[in-house]
Amino acid sequence: MDMALFEKKKAPLTGTAVQLRDGGRHPFGVLDGYVPLRNGEIALYRAIREAVPIVDAALIKLIRLVGGVRVQCGDPRAQEGLERFLRTVPTGRGQRGVQSFLDCYMDSLLTCGRAVGELVLDPDGREVAALLCGNAADLEIEDKWVLSKLNTLIKEVTENMDAYELGVASAKVYDFIWDTYCDWYIELTKARLYGEDEKSKLAAQKVLVYVLDQFLRLLHPFMPFITEEIWQAIPHEGRFLMLADWPKYDENLNFSVEAAHMESVMNAIRSIRNRRAEMNVPPSKKSTLYVVSDKGEIFRQGTGFICRLAYADQVIICDSDPEGHENMVCVVTNDAKLYIPLEELIDFEKELARIEKEKANCLKQIAMFEGKLSNEAFVSRAPEKVVAEQREKLEKNRALLAQLEESEKRLRR
């Protein structure tokens, strides 16, 4: 795999223009010796610098001119769909429009490519086949989960494309790249990729590359040049991505049972991580985790994932609530109750001191807002919006005070 493609690139030479050097490869080609960039284009330029071929000179034109561009299509439904896409395509960052779309998606795609490049590259130079081997017995539960998710994605995106729902289709691929593939699957497979079991490692590599290959095909109509460049850097069949077959839904890759089991484990991990974050517990602080569930075997198989991703030093599967559960932190999911001994998460004295400090600050804020709102002159003369904001802040501080008092009560039991 060509790792140079995924290396982090240096920032532009200046904030507003990039001078081209003689003999240097540039993604946009030579445009009168320099490529002027607006502020909104600089992040995009950084993301794709030297990563796409010269033909992407058209891309910077699109960014500059898209405000006045009207895409012409022969089919009225396609025309309407494309115009709606240009206006409303979501980027996942609360922004809409083509420039935000390009900025966000280019960055995410290169980040994904870099992550896979680091994990799949074989130090011995052995090639990793892009296609799955036919033996499903080589697949682990996390492999079957991601393949099922990919299979569903292919079906839904194809339906969206056929209905000219381009914004919906691109958003689904984006969510799959970040949430399913990067946030979860890559993390779930790291133990295998860095482990000693060569067979398991190779199976994980094959799935990583296969899934990347498939969603590059799905994303290619939206981002043809950068997807082509990344596709050429990974093991693949055929000369060009633009000539490759569109992905097809495959019933043989629909592992619904394994996918449901994996979701149960992931929900537990997600819930534990959220609760620890709420309590400001650092990832370095490990703890015992008790799992109470009638699906104990599912969680027993997922112990490795839970220990690594939910920061547990041991996982104990129980049929009923553990002894002393009244003094434990409890997290409930659809399939389990999860208990963590409170003393393993926090220092009681430090936590009580922190709560007292926050309570004092909260009481001070409440007194200030109550003073303002009890002042008739302020209420009658201030704009209605300002008065409403003060009332909202007062209610938020009262709610926070109630939470702090409840936390203090639990700690003093």
* Per-residue three-class SS string for 210-227: HHHHHHHHHHCCCCHHHH
Rounded to whole angstroms, the Cα distance separating 276 from 100 reads 33
- DSSP string of 92-151, one letter each residue: SSS-BSHHHHHHHHHHHHHHHHHHHHHHH--TT-----SSPPS-GGG--HHHHHHHHHHH
Phi/psi of residue 380, each to 5°?
Answer: -80, -30
Quote the pLDDT of residue 126. 45
Sign for the CA dihedral angle at 242, 91, 181, 248 comes to negative
Q: What is the pLDDT of residues 358-409, one digit of tens each?
A: 999 999 999 999 999 999 989 898 898 999 999 999 999 999 898 888 878 8
Quote the pLDDT of residue 275. 87
Quote the pLDDT of residue 94. 45
Q: C-alpha distances in angstroms, 285 versus 128, 174, 277, 312, 347? A: 37, 33, 12, 9, 11
Sign for the CA dihedral angle at 64, 69, 73, 79 comes to positive
Token pair recorded at residue 54: 């010269």
Residues whose CB is less than 8 angstroms from the CB of residue 144 and which lie 6 or more positions away in sequence, other chains included? 136, 255, 258, 259, 262
Q: In 10 A of CB 43, how many CB atoms?
A: 15
Quote the pLDDT of residue 218. 92
Residues whose CB is less than 8 angstroms from the CB of residue 141 and which lie 6 or more positions away in sequence, other chains included? 258, 261, 262, 301, 302
Quote the pLDDT of residue 42. 46
Sign for the CA dihedral angle at 117, 4, 8, 97 comes to negative
Quote the pLDDT of residue 338. 93
Q: What is the pLDDT of residues 39-77, one digit of tens each?
A: 444 444 444 444 333 334 444 443 343 333 344 555 565
Q: Identify whether the C-beta of residue 207 lies closer than 8 Å to the C-beta of residue 150.
A: no
- The domains located in the chain, with CATH, are 3-253 (1.10.730.10), 256-344 (3.30.2320), 348-411 (1.10.287)
Stretches where the chain sits below pLDDT 70 are 1-136, 413
Quote the pLDDT of residue 95. 45
First-last CA distance in the chain? 58
Quote the pLDDT of residue 289. 93
Quote the pLDDT of residue 108. 57
DSSP-assigned letter for residue 251:
G
pTM to 2 decimals? Answer: 0.64
Burial class (CB in 10 A: 0-12, 13-18, 19+), 126: exposed
Residues whose CB is less than 8 angstroms from the CB of residue 130 and which lie 6 or more positions away in sequence, other chains included? 206, 209, 210, 213, 234, 235, 236, 237
- DSSP string of 224-249, one letter each residue: HHHHHHHHHHS--SSS-GGGSPPP--
